[in-house]
């Protein structure tokens, strides 16, 4: 399954870069968030590939969900797809937008890939194994290296959202004490923690499950964890929520290994 994810992320990333180079119109969805041809074409590629390879597993994809297209039941396992995470970065000609594909099983993000086609950064994770992947100019995988989250040591390195920072996030970072802050867009924040390039990613702004599942899967595969503010692991497949819409996340903190862990 992970090999299929990687293949589809590369194919979708190639299409995203075609649109990025050519330029495209920017439309607004009902929630006023931007959407482009790159979002739509990337999602078509990913959904076609997943549904051909795994027809029995439901798909939850951002643009289909925005259009009201949703499987009536998810069962024990389903795919979460964000075809272009960081559309604002894409529109503003920044480089850290990503293609995200994840498998959720029993509420846990189990397998995931995050591909940043503009920079070539590519991460994958499955239970017990997380990797950073190197590709060549033809989108062919040429190398893999294992990654592992680290136990945080002061001063902590914190990754924060470039486009969606909040006063609550700033207050949390200040409370950590001396900390180096790295601002980056999209789900790469999870991957920087997974790869021991950062220690903690606090998110006190709104996210949806397709924004976080793939990066969270990579982080958990690398030994880290994403927890809600009450300390529970962030769960997926949240529907019929009394206080929010389907698949909306609460605030969370993603971090590397606890001090003293292996």
Q: Which CATH number characterizes residue 169's domain?
A: 3.40.190.80
151 located within any domain: no
Task: Indicate whether 13 and 130 sit together in one domain.
Answer: yes
Q: Are 249 and 235 in contact (CB under 8 A)?
A: no
Q: Dump pLDDT digits (tens) for 177-215.
A: 767 788 787 799 999 999 999 999 999 988 999 999 999
pTM for the model stands at 0.93
Q: Which residues of 32-71 are buried (b: 16+ CB within 10 A; e: fewer)?
A: eeebbbbbbbbbebbbebbeeeeeebbbbbbbbbeeeebe
Task: Indicate whether 215 and 113 sit together in one domain.
Answer: no
Task: Indicate whether 176 and 51 sit together in one domain.
Answer: no
Task: Indicate whether 58 and 133 sit together in one domain.
Answer: yes
pLDDT value of position 22 = 85
184 is in which domain, residue-wise?
156-255
The count of structural domains within the chain is 2
Q: Dump pLDDT digits (tens) for 117-127.
A: 999 999 999 99
Task: Indicate whether 21 and 63 sit together in one domain.
Answer: yes
Task: Indicate whether 25 and 50 sit together in one domain.
Answer: yes
Q: Which residues of 98-120 are buried (b: 16+ CB within 10 A; e: fewer)?
A: bbbbbbbbeebbbbbbbbbbbee
């Amino acid at each position: 399954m992970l090999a299929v994810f990687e293949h589809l992320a590369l194919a979708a990333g190639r299409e995203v870069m075609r649109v990025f180079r050519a330029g495209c119109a920017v439309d607004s969805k009902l929630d006023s968030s931007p959407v482009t041809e790159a979002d739509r074409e990337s999602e078509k590629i990913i959904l076609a590939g997943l549904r051909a390879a795994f027809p029995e597993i439901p798909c939850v994809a951002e643009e289909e969900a925005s259009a009201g297209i949703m499987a009536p039941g998810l069962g024990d396992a389903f795919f979460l797809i964000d075809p272009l995470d960081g559309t604002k970065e894409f529109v503003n000609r920044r480089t850290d937008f990503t293609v995200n594909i994840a498998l959720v099983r029993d509420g846990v993000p189990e397998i995931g890939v995050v591909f940043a086609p503009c920079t070539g950064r590519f991460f994958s994770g499955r239970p017990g194994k997380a990797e950073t992947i190197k590709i060549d100019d033809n989108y062919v995988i040429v190398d893999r290296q294992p990654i592992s989250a680290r136990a945080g040591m002061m001063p902590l390195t914190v990754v924060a959202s470039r486009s969606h920072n909040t006063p609550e996030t700033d207050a949390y970072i200040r409370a950590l004490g001396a900390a180096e802050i790295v601002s980056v867009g999209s789900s790469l924040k999870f991957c920087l923690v997974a790869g021991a390039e950062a220690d903690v990613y606090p998110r006190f702004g709104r996210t949806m499950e397709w924004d976080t599942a793939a990066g969270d899967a990579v982080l958990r595969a690398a030994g880290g964890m994403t927890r809600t503010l009450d300390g529970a692991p962030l769960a997926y497949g949240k529907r019929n929520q009394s206080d929010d819409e389907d698949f909306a996340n609460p605030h969370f903190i993603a971090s590397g290994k606890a001090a003293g862990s292996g």
